[in-house]
């Protein structure tokens, strides 16, 4: 899929790092629904010492997305909530949106790629989300050209809404409270909202902690953008990491990502499959491809380079389970 010469943003202001007080406020706001997931030791083989897992798969919706979506929904006026909630999603954001919409007694809608896995589509229907599938290029046009303004819903920008980012940042607060002496955190990257939130919170508490973004070699948008020193599009290849299949980093997010991320690690599709299998075998965790990116990167990195490390297991919504 060739996206050359396309715009790399929606023409808005740069997304700023949330203040630490905003992340703490988000933690209080979402506490009644969001699980404070544990940090657990990875029971891996030799060479995987010092690797810990943060299983966001334990959230009610099977992914971390509920943190940001719920914080966003609780931060907008009731009159806006009553209009209904909408987003554009590869699946997990829309699932979280549907869950939250049910809690708040409103309707939900999502534009999503027509390649969305069956497991995610079933979850969308379970939460009564009105799905609007379309080719990936049209989804991106919907977002970047702001075609969502034509819809009669309150729209959540799944990449750059500051309230969503603050909600995701609550993961960082938990890690710093749960694991003394953490040195490196591995975070899967799609559009960048998760790593922006977690990285911002971590860096405000302890700037020496390394924040490592992880992507598949099939969709290395952040890696390519950092290499070129500006946002770029990439041609997406077939990948098991559907949740992070975002072929660009947008202009509005790039400065924040550049500020909070120390490095980007690229892994192969086979390494992701191996990580998924290791998580089932060693810890009993069923994780989707995008959710296993973090462990795939950590096991490829010697302890001398990463130290005590946390891998975010971001989601479990995959076919075949």
Question: So what's the pLDDT on residue 251?
Answer: 96
Question: So what's the pLDDT on residue 11?
Answer: 87
- Residue 57: closest CA among 284, 298, 210, 308: 284
| Torsion, Cα of 160, 235, 273, 228 (10° steps) | -60
Claim to verify: residue 118 and residue 233 sit in the same structural domain: no
Claim to verify: residue 55 and residue 74 sit in the same structural domain: no
Average pLDDT over the chain, rounded to an integer: 94
Claim to verify: residue 191 and residue 263 sit in the same structural domain: yes
Residue 15 maps to a domain: no
313 bridge partner residues: 55
- 145 pLDDT band, cuts 50/70/90, is confident
Claim to verify: residue 113 and residue 240 sit in the same structural domain: no
Claim to verify: residue 266 and residue 300 sit in the same structural domain: yes
Claim to verify: residue 83 and residue 223 sit in the same structural domain: no
Claim to verify: residue 199 and residue 291 sit in the same structural domain: yes
- 321 pLDDT band, cuts 50/70/90, is very low
Looking at the structure of the chain, the number of domains it has is: 2
The 8 Å CB, 24+ separation contacts for 6-10 are: 6/140, 6/144, 6/233, 6/248, 7/144, 8/230, 8/231, 8/232, 8/233, 8/248, 8/249, 8/250, 8/251, 9/144, 9/231, 9/250, 9/251, 9/252, 10/143, 10/144, 10/145, 10/146, 10/250, 10/252
The residue from 156, 182, 204 where one domain ends is 156
104-142 residue pLDDT tens = 999 999 999 998 888 888 888 899 999 999 998 899 889
174-187 residue pLDDT tens = 999 999 999 999 99
CATH of the domain at 151: 3.40.50.1100
Residue 292 maps to a domain: yes
Claim to verify: residue 183 and residue 306 sit in the same structural domain: yes
Claim to verify: residue 185 and residue 308 sit in the same structural domain: yes
Claim to verify: residue 99 and residue 145 sit in the same structural domain: yes
The residue from 156, 184, 203 where one domain ends is 156
The residue from 137, 156, 175 where one domain ends is 156
Residue 71 maps to a domain: yes
Average pLDDT for 225-251: 94
Range of the domain at 133: 66-156
Residue 5 maps to a domain: no
Claim to verify: residue 229 and residue 264 sit in the same structural domain: yes
Claim to verify: residue 214 and residue 280 sit in the same structural domain: yes
Residue 251 maps to a domain: yes
């Amino acid at each position: 899929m060739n996206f050359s010469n396309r715009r790399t943003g929606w023409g808005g202001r740069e997304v700023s790092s949330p203040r630490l007080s905003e992340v703490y406020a988000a933690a209080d706001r979402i506490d009644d629904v969001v699980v404070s997931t544990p940090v657990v030791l990875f029971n891996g083989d030799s060479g995987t010492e010092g690797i810990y897992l943060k299983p966001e798969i334990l959230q009610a919706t099977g992914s971390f997305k509920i943190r940001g979506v719920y914080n966003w929904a609780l931060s907008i006026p009731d009159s806006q909530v009553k209009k209904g909630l909408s987003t554009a999603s590869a699946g997990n954001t829309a699932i979280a949106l549907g869950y939250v919409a049910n809690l708040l007694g409103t309707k939900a809608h999502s534009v999503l790629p027509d390649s969305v896995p069956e497991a995610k589509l079933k979850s969308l229907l379970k939460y009564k989300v009105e799905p609007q599938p379309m080719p990936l290029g049209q989804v991106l046009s919907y977002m970047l050209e702001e075609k969502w303004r034509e819809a009669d819903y309150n729209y959540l920008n799944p990449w750059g809404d500051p309230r969503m980012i603050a909600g995701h940042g609550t993961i960082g607060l938990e890690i710093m409270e749960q694991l003394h002496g953490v040195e490196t955190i591995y975070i899967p990257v799609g559009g960048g909202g998760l790593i922006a939130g977690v990285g911002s919170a971590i860096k405000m508490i302890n700037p020496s902690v390394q924040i490592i973004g992880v992507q598949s070699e099939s969709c290395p948008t952040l890696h390519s953008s950092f290499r070129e020193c500006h946002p770029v599009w990439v041609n997406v290849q077939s990948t098991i990491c559907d949740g992070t299949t975002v072929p660009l980093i947008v202009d509005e997010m790039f400065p924040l990502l550049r500020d909070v991320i120390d490095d980007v690690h690229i892994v192969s599709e086979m390494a992701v499959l191996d990580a998924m299998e290791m998580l089932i075998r060693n810890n009993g965790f069923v994780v989707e491809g995008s959710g296993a990116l973090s462990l795939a990167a950590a096991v490829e990195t010697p302890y001398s380079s990463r130290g005590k490390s946390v891998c975010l297991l971001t989601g479990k919504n995959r076919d075949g389970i």
